A = this chain, B = another copy of it.
Amino acid sequence: MNSPGRQVYRLAEIVQRFGGELLGDADVRIHQVATLEAAGPGEIAFFASNRYRKQLERTQADAIILSAEAAAATERARIVCKDPYAYFARVSALLNPPAQVAAGVHPLAAVDPSARVAPSATIGALAVVSAGAQIAERTQIEAGCSVGENVRIGRDCRLHANVSVYHDCVIGERVILHSGVIIGADGFGIAWDNERWHKIPQIGRVVLGDDVEVGANTTIDRGALDDTVIEEGVKLDNQIQIGHNCKIGAHTAIAGCVGIAGSTHIGRYCRIGGSAMIGGHLRIVDHVWISGATAVAKSILRPGTYTSLFPLSLHRDWLRNAAHIRHLDALVARVRALEARLAELEGKEQ
């Protein structure tokens, strides 16, 4: 099913490049990665959890990446290493290099004469690069993208089709923006005055650090006054909303559908599960993990894993149980009253 890998490597070459111990035939030739289940000739798979023991037994992969503890679980050619998943990631990157794209500006692109586009950059069909924008070496702007005025995009970036970047935003190096991403739209800044909402100009920018990746249809609003800042190495999945003046610390990873309201600062090395919601003007320190579907309405000042998930049940059971939540306070009072009455009775009893 997969696109064929573009090059072939002997197992010995892979181990020479990435380390690990090679068991079995060093001359096995590998051209692609695959799952244990789907792998066939010329393909390498990884085994990282005993959950997949059955798949390991049945696999037709020509080689396996696994840990020392699992080294004896197969007789196929294998690479033994500390972290099979990370090792696999490197092998996959080796076998699947980014496609080469011809440099240059498509005749149906609209590049303003005052924009500075590196000769090694690629501007796709029907893309727009506005006045004063700068596109650095080897960066690819795909079809239908809109790069606003005075935007600066660093080297080796890739903007997939139909990305929009508003004026004045700054994008680092090796940044990937997937289709539908919106960088630098106005934050939700309104003031109630004289019986109607008045818009507050959003004059900050969005600044994305190096090696940031942003998933499809994710939106990052420009700052109201200061900038919205996404630090280096942050990985954002699809359909995330990041409000104005947020700051996301380096190497934090956020799964899909998360909403982060304005002016919240999230630390470095955090992990936020899918569909979590984080309120505005909060502070979350480094190394905080937040479970999927969790709502955070106050600051988190200590590392740890946090959750706020209503447990799932059959709807008929939910109907019976959930209603009591509206009366928990009364229930606690009843228990307290029982304790008092019982204590009194026990007193008499003695």
Q: A-side interface residues toward B, CB under 8 Å? A: 1-3, 32-35, 37-38, 83, 85-86, 88-90, 92-93, 95-96, 106, 108, 110, 124-128, 130, 142-144, 146, 148, 160-162, 164, 166, 168, 176, 178-180, 182, 185-186, 188-201, 203-205, 211, 213, 215-217, 219, 221, 223, 225-227, 233, 235, 237-239, 241, 243, 251, 253, 255-257, 259, 261, 274-275, 277, 279-280, 291-298, 304-329, 331-332, 334-335, 338-339, 341-342, 345-346, 348-349
Contact = CB atoms under 8 A, between A and B. Distances in A.
A146 B108 CA distance: 14
A143 B128 contact: yes
Given A2-B203, A345-B349, 19 more contacts: A1-B204, A2-B226, A89-B191, A92-B200, A108-B110, A128-B161, A144-B164, A148-B161, A164-B179, A178-B185, A217-B217, A219-B238, A221-B238, A277-B292, A308-B309, A310-B325, A334-B339, A335-B335, A341-B342
B297 A293 contact: yes
Smallest CB-CB A-B distances: 4 pairs: A146-B161, A86-B193, A110-B125, A293-B295
B326 A331 contact: no
Contacts of A164: 144, 160-162, 179-180, 216
A213 B188 CA distance: 10
A216 B216 contact: no
A276 B54 CA distance: 32
Nearest to A2: B203
Q: Which of A128, A160, A179, A261 has the most CB of B within 10 A?
A: A179
B239 A256 contact: no
A237 to B, nearest CB: 4
Contacts of A328: 321-322, 324-325
B339 A342 contact: no
Contacts of A85: 191
A127 B243 CA distance: 28
A325 B324 CA distance: 9
B313 A307 contact: yes
A143 B143 CA distance: 12
B307 A315 contact: yes
B345 A225 contact: no
B217 A180 contact: yes
A329 B321 contact: yes
A257 B211 CA distance: 26
Contacts of A293: 277, 295, 297
18 contacts: A2-B226, A3-B203, A89-B189, A92-B200, A106-B110, A128-B161, A144-B144, A188-B255, A190-B253, A197-B251, A219-B239, A257-B277, A274-B280, A277-B292, A295-B310, A297-B309, A311-B325, A324-B331
